[in-house]
Structure 1
Amino acid sequence: MEQHSNALRVMVIDDSKTIRRTAETLLKNVGCDVITAIDGFDALARIVDHHPHIIFVDIMMPRLDGYQTCALVKNNPAFKSIPVIMLSSKDGLFDKAKGRIVGVDQFLTKPFSKDELLGAIKAYVPGFAAVEQAH
Structure 2
Amino acid sequence: MEESRKDLKVMVIDDSNTIRRTAETLLSKTGCDVITAVDGFDSLSKIADCQPDVIFVDIMMPRLDGYQTCALIKNNSQFRHTPVIMLSSKDGLFDKAKGRIVGADDYLTKPFSKNELFEALDRYAQPQTA
Fold match by TM threshold 0.5:
yes
TM-fit CA distance, 1:45: 0.3
Structure 2 residue 63 is matched with structure 1 residue 63: yes
| TM-score, length basis structure 1 | 0.88
> Do the aligned residues in 1 keep the contact of 2:40 with 2:63 (CA within 8 Å)?
yes
TM-fit CA distance, 1:22: 0.1
- SS, match of residue 99 in structure 1: helix
> Do the aligned residues in 1 keep the contact of 2:53 with 2:126 (CA within 8 Å)?
no
CA distance in 2, matches of 1:41, 1:53: 19
The equivalent residue for 2:75 is 75
- SS, match of residue 96 in structure 1: helix
The residue identity in structure 1 corresponding to 2:89 is S
> Deviations along 1:79-114, whole A, 9 cap, x unmatched?
010000000000001101111100000000000111
> Deviations along 1:14-64, whole A, 9 cap, x unmatched?
000000000000000000000000000000000000000000000000000
RMSD of aligned alpha carbons: 1.0
The equivalent residue for 1:25 is 25
- SS, match of residue 100 in structure 1: helix
> Do the aligned residues in 1 keep the contact of 2:70 with 2:104 (CA within 8 Å)?
yes
The equivalent residue for 1:105 is 105
The equivalent residue for 2:11 is 11
The residue identity in structure 2 corresponding to 1:78 is Q
CA distance in 2, matches of 1:48, 1:98: 25
| TM-score, length basis structure 2 | 0.92
Unpaired runs of at least 5, structure 2: 1-5
TM-fit CA distance, 1:7: 1.4
The equivalent residue for 2:45 is 45
CA distance in 2, matches of 1:21, 1:126: 23
CA distance in 1, matches of 2:62, 2:125: 29
> Do the aligned residues in 1 keep the contact of 2:39 with 2:64 (CA within 8 Å)?
yes
4+ residue stretches of structure 1 with deviation over 4 A? none
